[in-house]
């Protein structure tokens, strides 16, 4: 599962309750401009988790007369960092404004129980062309999940009718695999070309009102198969299955080639050996844009021959073009003149379906020596659990759930009770997560559209206007909502700016 993905290299942050997190986020935002940070300073800041002011890099003179910069990029996730790097390489003086005190957006490399972890987006694959080209460009190392003393083999645990079924033989796993295949049996009908939704647009519109839950209700399944199919749908949706479009989970299946093995490998196997932050560092060092952290944007005003951006702290910057790379659930909080497309603002207020939790759990002892996936009905607090790492004295599990408020996920006892439905003797030693839906600079996890969104909203997303360009990783074709989609969206926006500015 990919969250659509930084450390900050410091010790893992404390488990935040909503009030505590919002308080800290407000302090970071109130810092305003920490000053321009040169490329070396940004890498420093990314590595330490703090917004460190460093001696600014020598500012490149803009090619456009009468402005501070040729290009200003809003948002320092993978879409924004890609857009800033590419704009600099295209010869434009570029400023990147990021609201947090770190870069990476909804990716977040950290450390937990001595293991490198990702609190946000994590997994990559060569079926994801944009991110894999970056792996090749910068010769980045990749490793596999799980790590540690893991032996060959795999096991599926299914919580059904109050008991835990352990499936580890082909004849046992066959019905579960059949349920997954049935869930995605129609994917080719809608997504024969997953990078070209217009190719089967009429079929997509027909299925547009259907939710994942409704599709599951229409399937003929045994109780065990229903739990497996429902858990996979909830895991991909990262939100209530009643609120996610059935088209969306079909898109996930079609993108890597339409098989369970391809889906697992593309969305849960390979990751950056040194964290998602390793690619962020390479991109910033390569492009060397000017970066200002802790600089949330208040307004974007398009004037005759320029765009003026004003931060919450009152700083004003002008540019020949602006690239908006903010999450869709956040963009409507910025005041645009002329006003943002009303339907884009409406979709942001409604929020996409990604509202869940990605929870890292340290369990005492070697809970398993093989790769385990454990699933339960979507109403369970821990409906999708996988092995992340195995050490001599502990096991790290990663949990995906559709609702970050299903239980108190900071409560070790509550998590332990839920986990014992799968592992009766499990002893939970520690927990870690980031509350993305409460984070004011994301207001959600990875983007999955809701039923009816293709017909109502898609034509309005990613539409440039004048000198304001949109390069959001939540929209577009292919692996949108993933690291890959963010890189693709940011690069495409930078190219359109190049066409505009010449």
Q: Domains for the chain: give ranges and CATH numbers.
A: 35-105+275-351+447-501 (3.50.50.60), 146-268+357-435 (3.90.660.10)
The predicted pLDDT at position 148 comes to 86
Q: Is 358 helix (H, G, I), strand (E, B) or coil?
A: strand
Report the DSSP pairing between strands 163-167 and 428-432. Answer: unpaired
The predicted pLDDT at position 431 comes to 98
The predicted pLDDT at position 51 comes to 35
Residue that is written with structure tokens 């898109």 in the block: 251
CA geometry: angle 211, 212, 214, nearest 5 deg: 65
The predicted pLDDT at position 57 comes to 53
Any bridge partners for residue 430, and if so which?
Answer: 362
* CA–CA distance, 458 with 205 (Å, rounded to integer): 11
Nearest Cα neighbor of 399 from 366, 424, 423 is 423
- Number of CB atoms found within 10 A of residue 137's CB: 12
Helices (H), 138-186: 170-183
- Taking the chain (502 residues) in runs of 10, the rounded mean pLDDT of each run is 34 38 32 40 41 50 96 98 98 98 98 96 98 98 90 90 94 95 96 96 97 97 97 95 97 95 94 98 98 98 97 98 98 97 97 97 93 95 96 96 95 98 97 97 97 98 97 97 98 98 94
The predicted pLDDT at position 36 comes to 46
* CA–CA distance, 409 with 320 (Å, rounded to integer): 46
* CA–CA distance, 256 with 128 (Å, rounded to integer): 8
The predicted pLDDT at position 321 comes to 98
The predicted pLDDT at position 91 comes to 97
Name all contacts of 192-201 with Cβ < 8 Å and 24+ positions apart. Answer: 192/254, 194/251, 194/254, 194/255, 194/477, 194/478, 195/477, 195/478, 196/477, 197/454, 197/458, 197/477
CA geometry: angle 132, 479, 108, nearest 5 deg: 70
Any bridge partners for residue 471, and if so which?
Answer: none
Q: Do 425 and 366 contact (CB within 8 A), yes or no? A: no
Nearest Cα neighbor of 293 from 463, 9, 41 is 41
Helices (H), 90-139: 129-137
Nearest Cα neighbor of 377 from 417, 414, 406 is 406
Q: What are phi and psi of 167, to 5 degrees?
A: -115, 120
- Nearest-Å Rg of the Cα atoms of the chain is 22
* CA–CA distance, 470 with 464 (Å, rounded to integer): 6
């Amino acid at each position: 599962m990919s969250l659509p993905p930084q450390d900050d290299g410091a010790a893992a942050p404390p488990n935040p309750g909503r009030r505590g997190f919002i308080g800290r986020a407000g302090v970071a935002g109130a810092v305003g401009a920490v000053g321009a940070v040169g490329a070396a300073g940004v890498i420093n800041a990314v590595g330490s988790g703090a917004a460190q002011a460093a001696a600014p890099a020598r500012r490149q003179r803009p090619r456009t007369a009468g402005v501070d910069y040729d290009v200003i990029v809003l948002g320092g996730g993978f879409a924004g960092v890609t857009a800033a790097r590419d704009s600099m390489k295209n010869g434009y003086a570029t400023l990147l404004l990021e609201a947090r005190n770190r870069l990476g957006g909804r990716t977040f490399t950290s450390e937990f129980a001595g293991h490198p972890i990702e609190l946000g987006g994590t997994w990559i694959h060569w079926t994801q062309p944009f991110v894999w080209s970056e792996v090749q460009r910068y010769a980045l190392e990749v490793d596999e999940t799980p790590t540690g003393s893991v032996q060959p083999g795999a096991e599926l645990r299914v919580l059904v009718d109050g008991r835990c079924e352990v499936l580890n033989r082909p004849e046992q796993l066959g019905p579960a695999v059949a349920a997954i295949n049935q869930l995605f049996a129609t994917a080719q009908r809608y997504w024969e070309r997953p990078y070209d939704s217009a190719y089967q647009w009429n079929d997509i519109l027909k299925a547009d009102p259907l939710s994942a839950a409704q599709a599951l209700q229409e399937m003929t399944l045994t109780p065990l198969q229903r739990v497996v199919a429902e858990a996979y749908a909830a895991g991909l949706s990262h939100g209530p299955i009643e609120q996610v479009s059935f088209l969306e989970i079909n898109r996930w299946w079609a993108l890597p080639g339409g098989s369970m093995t391809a889906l697992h490998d593309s969305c849960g196997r390979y990751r950056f050996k040194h964290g998602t932050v390793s690619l962020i560092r390479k991109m910033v060092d390569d492009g060397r844009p000017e970066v200002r952290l802790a600089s949330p944007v208040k307004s974007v005003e398009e004037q005759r021959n320029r765009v003026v951006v004003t931060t919450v702290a009152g700083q004003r910057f002008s540019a020949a073009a602006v690239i908006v790379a903010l999450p869709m659930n956040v963009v409507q909080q910025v005041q645009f003149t002329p006003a943002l497309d009303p339907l884009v603002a409406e979709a942001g207020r409604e929020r996409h379906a990604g509202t869940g939790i990605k929870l890292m759990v340290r369990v005492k002892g070697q809970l398993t020596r093989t790769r385990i996936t454990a699933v339960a009905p979507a109403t369970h607090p821990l409906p999708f659990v996988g092995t992340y790492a195995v050490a001599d004295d502990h096991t790290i599990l990663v949990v995906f759930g559709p609702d970050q408020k299903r239980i108190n996920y900071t409560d070790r006892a509550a998590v332990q009770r839920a986990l014992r439905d799968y592992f009766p003797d499990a002893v939970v030693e520690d927990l870690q997560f980031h509350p993305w839906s409460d984070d004011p600079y994301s207001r959600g996890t990875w983007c999955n559209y809701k039923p009816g969104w293709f017909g109502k909203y898609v034509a309005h997303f990613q539409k440039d206007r004048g000198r304001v360009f949109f390069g959001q990783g939540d929209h577009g074709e292919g692996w949108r909502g993933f690291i890959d989609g963010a890189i693709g969206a940011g690069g495409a926006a930078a190219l359109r700016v190049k066409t505009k500015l010449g």
